[in-house]
Amino acid sequence: MDNMNIDSSNKYIEANRFGALRELEAAKIFIQRGYTVSVPTMSARYDFIAEKYPVILRVQVKNLKLKKPRSENKLSHDIWQINAYSTVYGEKRPYTIKDCNVIVGICLETGAFAIVPIDKISGKISCKLSEHEKNKVRNYLNSYVALDN
């Protein structure tokens, strides 16, 4: 095996490791909120199911990234981003209500999280969150509001 294959294999393993850690953190959030968490035995468009009678949610977990400002000017609010898609045959496929009910973004470095109902971002490949008053999904950043409804 040449070095290029080893490097790409290591990157894949590392990405899967971080993905698994994010999924565990998300499951922990739901368990702490009184949900039962079940993981599918086969590949699915969601990572786990969270159930708290009578609510059943299909949950997709993604990385929550802090976006760096493009210029020297510091923004008044941090901007976070969740890439709400999977790649299928090289094409970005956004998540919809057919795939999951909520997308949970987890930042392993800071502990920040967002729980966003899919109908707030359905069809878009990314979701930007900030505490700015004009941000339509600001209430979902570091909040359980999506679970309390």
Q: Which CATH architecture has domain 3-148?
A: 3-Layer(aba) Sandwich (3.40)
Residue 81: the pLDDT is 93
The model's confidence at residue 69, banded by pLDDT at 50, 70 and 90, is low
The answer, yes or no, to whether residue 93 has pLDDT greater than 90, is yes
Annotated domain spans of the chain: 3-148
**Separation of first and last alpha carbons in the chain:** 52
What burial letters (b/e) apply to 84-109, b meaning 16+ CB within 10 Å? bbeeeeeeeebbeeebbbbbbbbbee
Nearest CA among 83, 71, 79, 85 for reference residue 112? 79
Residue 65: the pLDDT is 95
pTM (two decimals): 0.85
The answer, yes or no, to whether residue 6 has pLDDT greater than 60, is no
Tokens of 107: 């930042």
Question: What share of the chain has pLDDT > 70, as a percent?
Answer: 85
For 79, phi then psi, to 5°, come to -115, 125
Q: pLDDT digits over 11-61, tens only? A: 666 778 888 999 999 999 999 999 999 999 998 899 999 999 999 999 999
> For residues 82 and 64, is the Cβ–Cβ distance under 8 A?
yes
Please compute the mean of the pLDDT values over residues 99-114 and round it to a whole number.
Answer: 95
Residue 131: the pLDDT is 78
What is the average pLDDT value for the chain, to the nearest integer? Answer: 87
